[in-house]
Amino acid sequence: MCGISGYICNKGVQRADIERMNHCIQHRGPDDSGVFINSKKTAGFGHRRLSIIDLGGGHQPMSNEDETLWITFNGEIYNYQELRTDLAERHHFRTKSDTEVILHLYEEKGAKCLQYLRGMFAFAIYDQRTEELILARDHLGQKPLYYFHEGDEFAFASEIKALLALKPQLCELNPEALYEYLTLRIITPPRSMFKRIRKLSPGHLLIFHKDRVDIQRYWNLKYEPKIKGDLSEILSELEDQLQSTIQYHLVSDVPVGAFLSGGMDSSLIVAMMSKHVKEPINTFSGDVPYENYSEIPYARIIAAKHKTDHHELTINPSLIRTLPDLVWHLDEPSDPLSVCMYHLSELTHKHVKVVLGGDGGDELFGGYDRYYGNILANYYAMVPDTIRKNVFEKLLKLFPEGFWYRSISHRLKWMHQMSFYSDAQRYAKSLGYFYFSDGFKNALYTARFQNMVGMFDPERCLARYFDSDNADNAIDKMLYVDSMTRMPDHPNMILDRMTMAHGLEARSPFLDHKLAEFCAKIPANLKVKGTKRRYIQTELAKKHLPSAIVNRKKQGFNSPLPYLLDDEFKLLYSIFLNDSNLVADGYLNQHAIKYLLNEHVSKKADHGNRLWLICNAEIWYRMFIQNETKENIRENLLTHSHHSKSSENNVQNQQI
């Protein structure tokens, strides 16, 4: 795992340009750094290395034997050893690294080399003979890759901040991305929050040659034809596939640990991982102390069963202290989940360099309530519109507001609203229900902002996947949308940034593209069966996990945060929403923000997610567009926090 960067410009590329980019992403690769500049000084690569494979010989950027090809590579190729065995018959290897395998494979196959790679990756290869550059990003978007192109200039990097270091003038807000973020909480490729910086889509390659960019899809996920056989046969094959995938993910020259939440995904990874290792596995759990939300007892069950070297961290998260760092590492507005992952990664890095996790299980097996919820909405929609609008809608208004996304009130209101849509539109609406759906936009967005985005429709970015012919069944269509959009642009993005912030490599066996291809073709009714989510995964888990793990309710790492951080949320809102620069610069309406804030604080309506989105967009805007340092923002937060506590103490003293 590493950080990569590069710059091509006919006017000249200086070593200082690449060094500047490298410096910004040194946290991704604290073990080594390297720079390549071609003889014409028109192309340069940078690399920051986290040494995992071939610790002494994997220095990058790396060339082939005659130095006609150069590569800078971020990620791991899990099947590199078998590829190397074949290539060694025709090539001379100078290292034992997976990086050199990609180079020689590219020499033979060109861009078709991507068909042979099994792993997570983002890399660039420059051909000095043709002056052609190729970029590639892995199948399901585990590794990030951003780029800038204007005329004969082309630059790329693992993180946006490296591009901004090269060209500070790129600090320009992308109105469409802000609009999409506030609608769906994600930013889908090719957009980024910066107007002239683009994101390469997962499963795609980019060729830059003679000032032109050509982007091609090299892989897609198909859900048909379905696997034949009964449950026991498919279950047996799934077990074999997952065991093989986990074995591949253990390829490393340094010890490999595992995140262990006590949930089904991470517990299954640890249980199956233990069959392939001789030494005790280092496992890591984070606990957010709030009432009955602790997952530690479940993690301890798995740790004891498999005799792991278990490490626990009690996380007392503070957005006041960490939020500026989170936004800086993400290059985009933050998410509460980032806080917990950030601290757990900090602990994990003290013991191992590589860690396996359970990310991706929800999208493979149907782990979210919305999958069966959208199906149930079909049945509810059979009730005539007039009855739903004139009778049920009035009854729902009598329900108290549920300040928790899985409350009965939220579920019923969600179902009611979704019943007035169908198919792709319904699924897109269901993903944006807790954010700024149509009913909020006219009040919140200024006419100027709405003119900027014009006819851009964020929901259409999701609907095009739902409407594709890659899947026939409604459940599969929803899984496909999530696998192509939400997964790479939310949980994958957070996992990469928060682990790499501490120089930690996170691997996700459930995101292996070969396993994903197999799971996509499992019949949909073996994934979501009525209201039973993850049906076939649960059957597999019964073979490997105690009943206490299999039968527990899905919780989620960040579930208690809205309660635990309630006071900090209020402080953030008072600092950043009462005096918003997004308002001052003509994007949002202050009266709409105050209305949401007043309703939320007075418990009339739950706008927690909406306020969080605006607040983070505001902090991001100040840091990246208006160049306010994260140190200044942190100092501002700490000062207001101190004044707030002093005021509370004064009130308490007066009462005494």
- In this structure, what token pair is assigned to residue 356? 């396996």
Q: Which residues are within 8 A (CB) of 231 and not within 5 positions of it... i.e. 6 or more apart?
A: 526, 536, 539
Closest CA to 139 of 110, 112, 159, 119: 119
**CA 134/CA 153 separation, integer angstroms:** 15
**CA 175/CA 169 separation, integer angstroms:** 16
**CA 511/CA 358 separation, integer angstroms:** 9
**CA 161/CA 171 separation, integer angstroms:** 10
Is-catalytic flag, 615?
Answer: no
The continuous run of DSSP H or E covering 176 comes out as: helix 175-184
ω before 384 within 30° of 0 (cis)? no
Maximum distance among all alpha carbons in the chain?
84
Q: How many CB atoms sit inside 10 A of residue 233's CB?
A: 11
Q: Which alpha helices (DSSP H) does 185-278 contain, by range?
A: 231-249, 264-273
Strands of 146-150's sheet, edge to edge? 32-37, 43-49, 2-8, 153-157, 146-150, 198-199
Q: Which residues are within 8 A (CB) of 230 and not within 5 positions of it... i.e. 6 or more apart?
A: none
Beta bridge partners of 148: 155
Q: Per DSSP, which regions of 225-350 are E strands?
A: 256-259, 282-287, 309-314
**CA 340/CA 367 separation, integer angstroms:** 21
DSSP 211: T
**CA 325/CA 619 separation, integer angstroms:** 11
At residue 156, φ and ψ (nearest 5 deg) are -145, 160
Burial of 319 (0-12, 13-18, 19+ CB in 10 A): buried
**CB of 303 closer than 8 Å to CB of 290:** no
- In this structure, what token pair is assigned to residue 25? 């992403």
**CB of 302 closer than 8 Å to CB of 545:** yes
Q: Which residues are identified as catalytic?
A: 2
